Amino acid sequence: MDDINSVNFQFVVENYRDICYNIQNAKIKYNRESDNVDIMAVTKTVAPEIVNAAIDCGITLLGENRVQEFMSKKDFYRPCDVHFIGHLQTNKVKYIINDVKMIQSVDSVKLAEEINRLALKNDRVMDILIEVNIGEELSKSGVSRNNVLPLLNEVSKLPGIRVKGLMAIPPIGSDDDIYISLKDLFEQLKTKNIPGVSMEILSVGMSGDYEKAVKYGSNLVRIGTKLFGARKYMEV
């Protein structure tokens, strides 16, 4: 390993250790010691060799934001599960349908129907999360809280997908009420017992708020900057 990669590897190792430590402390502090919290490495703009350093540390799940970037990098990754977490256009689903384990950013019947169509065409069932715009921000994708149940009722009819839970990006600096609202929605939906819908995953919490997210029930946190450092933008 050359000197630059050695430095990058050690940087990722130390960051990953800190993240694991902080999550464990949050679980203890908030009485969630028996709960599993998965750490996703968000790889936007991160070079494959650095992503592989995270995999070598113990990361087992990658989060991809952009289809074109993922396609250019995926063959260089070590074996690892990949979720698509970015805004997904229907005409891009075909590129990722056989390369990701889950699509976390489903927020419309139209997108769900295209995922369903391509999943069935490829003899598979795709796991998805419903993206909730919990802060009702105009700049963000996601379905409003009030429209989650109607969307679930429609999506649950599609045989090529399984709804496994919810994903959300709370507004920066959100107070606890936003996280409580999301947790309450998640728990309420569990009680509906909709066929094809299992509320197993609450994907919330990123570099700036993952400990608070753990406090309020997240069992999958999506970490980019805190793991890899500030993003270095690349043309893709």
Contact assessment for residue 79 and residue 99, using Cβ atoms and an 8 Å cutoff: no
Question: How many CB atoms within 10 Å of residue 16?
Answer: 22
State whether residue 80 is helix, strand or coil: coil
pLDDT at 178 over 80: yes
Full-model pTM: 0.93
Residues facing residue 221 across a β-bridge: 39
The tokens describing 181, both together, are 């609202």
Per-residue pLDDT at 235 = 38
pLDDT at 2 over 80: no
Residues facing residue 166 across a β-bridge: 130, 202
Question: How many CB atoms within 10 Å of residue 59?
Answer: 24
Arithmetic mean of pLDDT, 212-231:
95
- Structural domains in the chain, CATH included, are 3-227 (3.20.20.10)
Q: Tell me: the pLDDT tens digits for 108-130?
A: 999 999 999 999 999 999 999 99
Spatial distance between the Cα atoms of 89 and 185, rounded to a whole number of angstroms? 26
The H-assigned helical ranges of 30-108 are: 48-57, 67-73, 93-96
Torsion sign, CA atoms 49, 54, 59, 62: negative
Q: Would you give the distance in Å from CA 42 to the centre of its chain?
A: 8
Arithmetic mean of pLDDT, 171-175:
92
Residues facing residue 203 across a β-bridge: 167, 220
Q: How far apart are the first and last CA of the chain?
A: 26
Contact assessment for residue 44 and residue 30, using Cβ atoms and an 8 Å cutoff: no
Q: State which H helix or E strand residue 41 sits in.
A: strand 38-42
Question: How many CB atoms within 10 Å of residue 167?
Answer: 28
Residue 9: band (very low, low, confident or very high) from pLDDT cuts 50, 70, 90: confident
Length of the chain: 236
Per-residue pLDDT at 138 = 83
What is each CA distance from 94 to 4, 30, 123, in whole angstroms? Answer: 36, 41, 13
Lowest mean pLDDT among 65-69, 81-85, 196-200: 196-200
Instruction: Output helix, strand, coil percentages for the chain, rounded to the nearest 5.
Output: 45, 20, 35
Per-residue pLDDT at 234 = 42
Question: How many CB atoms within 10 Å of residue 5?
Answer: 14
Q: State which H helix or E strand residue 65 sits in.
A: none
Q: Tell me: the pLDDT tens digits for 25-66?
A: 999 999 999 999 999 999 999 999 999 999 999 999 999 999
Report the chain's mean pLDDT, rounded to a whole number.
93
Per-residue pLDDT at 139 = 83
pLDDT at 211 over 50: yes
Residue 207: band (very low, low, confident or very high) from pLDDT cuts 50, 70, 90: very high
pLDDT at 5 over 70: no
Q: Tell me: the pLDDT tens digits for 84-109?
A: 999 999 999 999 999 999 999 999 99
Helices vs strands, H then E, count in the chain? 9, 8
Percent of the chain at pLDDT > 90 equals: 88
